Amino acid sequence: MRVQVGDVKLFVDFDGAKLRPQGPWLDERPTVLVVHTGPGVDHLPYKNHLGPTLATVAQVLYVDLRGHGRSDPGAPGDWNVDTWTADLVALLELLDVERPVVVGAGWGAFTAIRLAALHPRLPSKLVLANPNARFVAARSVAAFDELGNAEAGEAAFNFFSDPTDQTLGPYLQLSFPFVMGAAAMDALVRPDWNFPLALEWSRGEMRTIDLRGDLGAITAPTFVVAGDCDPQYPRASIEEVVDGLNDVRVEWFPGARHSVWRDAPASLGLIRDFVAEL
Amino acid sequence: MKLQVGDVRLFFDVDGAKVVPTDEDVDERPTVVLLHPGPGADHSLYKDTIGPLLTRVAQVVYLDQRGDGRSDRSDSSRWTLDTWVEDLRGFLEALELERPVLLGSSVGALVALRFAARYPDVPSRLVLVSAVARQVHARSVAAFDRLGGPRAGEVAARYYAEPNDVTFAEYLRVCLPLYTRRGLDAEVVARMEMNPSATEHWDGVESRRVDLRDEVGAIRCPILLLAGEDDPAFALPGVEELAEHLPQKLLEFRRYPNAGHGVFRDAPEAMDEVVAFVRGAS
């Protein structure tokens, strides 16, 4: 399905019904909005693990953010966290989805955090996987050095210093495998990756975004699942998010990289239980 | 979820993904829009029958029609087949649901039929369960007579002659249990948000204006028509009449002996037939 939200059509997909027969009643399940990682990739990888797990207890609502996957590209000037946030708020309003659980994974956590801070009463709960409030290049380069190797650190340094077609290639080849691992990369990196958007965002908002001031405004109970081996979203920056949140529980998964649920499937059951509990 | 379509907000639910990742690529599945019987009933009737089975091969969209279930009631002047058809069109357009399979039971099937006749390029397939081109009350009364005895026939005749809260209450008590051969499951009835006024309006007013015999020849997609031979509400002669008017080359007609208006409940094997038919749409 695609629905008109402002000047773009957004692709949405689902897993699991909202109302389910239970004896003489229709039992109403929560809706879980999944905000995908990125920039430039779509919602599809979540259908391999997180989505089906959550569908046992909730209705899962997947969306491709503006500029991603099957949604309209929109204008490059609108490829920013504030627009993605406004799109999601409008989408939920349009579909009359009330008080969803919002899941923000990796890069998607920027938008999930902004949404929960601007509209504290909108999400009933928040789930964040390897969230960062800002991008600290020096931390990430150091993490690529430490968790990867010198080549990975250098390619990351070159890309972060000057994101171009020329530096993106070596970054994907040498650095990115330490973010995802080969199998996960296959799921994530598809021909329809929006490289121009990834470059545009890396050149622009990535350098300026700082949501540390947003965290205190969030009131939704928050569950952070964290991998300590994601060089793109390093441990110190995840801790920064956890420290800034009011009502937070964090679960660290030693050895897990960017896709926490892939590297640590035990995280899936914990998220499911967090979504299901009243 | 609810979606604004024209002057009403329509409730819908979705189960199953449209786009499914595979090892190599992605699979795009058909979307099936389920149009519930009624009027006055709601989408929940599909939630424990065909809906869950279809999610194996398709994305399933449950829709409560205007006046029914969790959708806006609107008012009785808008409880017409034309309005439901145009609501469906607006709904499909708003969600960019292209070439859906439309599955309708009873009056939901009449919505699907008129929609497919009016917009023949839109549906990819039609599944019609317990469908007729027009309601001939004498046929229904005769069938109630046969299945439930003379009292059932009399109660049905009284209701059809003058649908109101009194005759409808009697009809629900005496005739509704005859809709399925297996007997009515009280929990299934309890799960519905019923609107008796919508049912009475259909039987008293709108159904008398509806005759699809001359329009259904315009349908251009494959059709699966399922009928229970012991359906008292939309009795078999009416289904056969509809079948004669449908494009013969596009039609698969299956009759289930010892099955009533609720074909899926009385003849669960009919659901396998539907799943196979929908799978063919992808």
Q: Does A127 map to a domain?
A: yes
pLDDT of B106-135, one tens digit each? Answer: 999 999 999 999 999 999 999 999 999 999
Q: Is A14 within 8 Å of B187 when comparing Cβ atoms? A: no
Report the CATH number that the domain containing residue A248 is assigned in CATH: 3.40.50.1820
In angstroms, what separates the C-alpha of A7 from chain B's closest C-alpha? 14
Chain A residue with minimum CA distance to B30:
A1
Residue span of the structural domain in which A249 resides: 2-133+210-276
The pTM assigned to this predicted structure is 0.96
Chain B residue with minimum CA distance to A45:
B21
Q: H helices within chain A, ranges in order?
A: 50-55, 81-94, 108-118, 137-143, 150-161, 165-170, 177-180, 182-188, 195-203, 205-208, 212-215, 235-244, 260-263, 266-276
Q: Does A174 map to a domain?
A: no
Q: Which domains does chain B have, with CATH numbers?
A: 2-135+194-199+210-279 (3.40.50.1820)
Q: Is A25 within 8 Å of B97 when comparing Cβ atoms? A: no
Q: Does A35 map to a domain?
A: yes
Q: Distance of alpha carbon B219 from its chain centroid, rounded?
A: 17
Tell me whether A191 touches chain B (CB under 8 Å).
no
Q: Is A1 within 8 Å of B96 when comparing Cβ atoms? A: yes
pLDDT of B139-182, one tens digit each? Answer: 999 999 999 999 999 999 999 999 999 999 999 999 999 999 99
Q: Give the closest residue to B275 by CA, choosing from B262, B260, B264.
A: B264
Q: Does A159 map to a domain?
A: no
Tell me whether A44 touches chain B (CB under 8 Å).
yes
Distances (CA, A) of B203 to A168, B2, B10, B39, B197: 67, 28, 23, 9, 10
Whole-angstrom distance, CA of residue A240 vs CA of residue A258: 17
Q: Does A229 map to a domain?
A: yes
Q: Does A113 map to a domain?
A: yes
Q: Does A179 map to a domain?
A: no
Tell me whether A51 touches chain B (CB under 8 Å).
yes
Closest residue to A1, CB basis, from B9, B18, B47: B18
Mean pLDDT (chain A) is 95
Size of the A and B interface in Cβ pairs below 8 Å: 80
State ipTM.
0.95
Chain B residue with minimum CA distance to A69:
B19
* Chain A residue numbers touching B16 (CB-CB < 8 A): 14-15
Q: Does A246 map to a domain?
A: yes
pLDDT of A183-227, one tens digit each? Answer: 667 766 666 789 999 999 999 999 999 999 999 999 999 999 999
Q: Total structural domains in chain A? A: 1
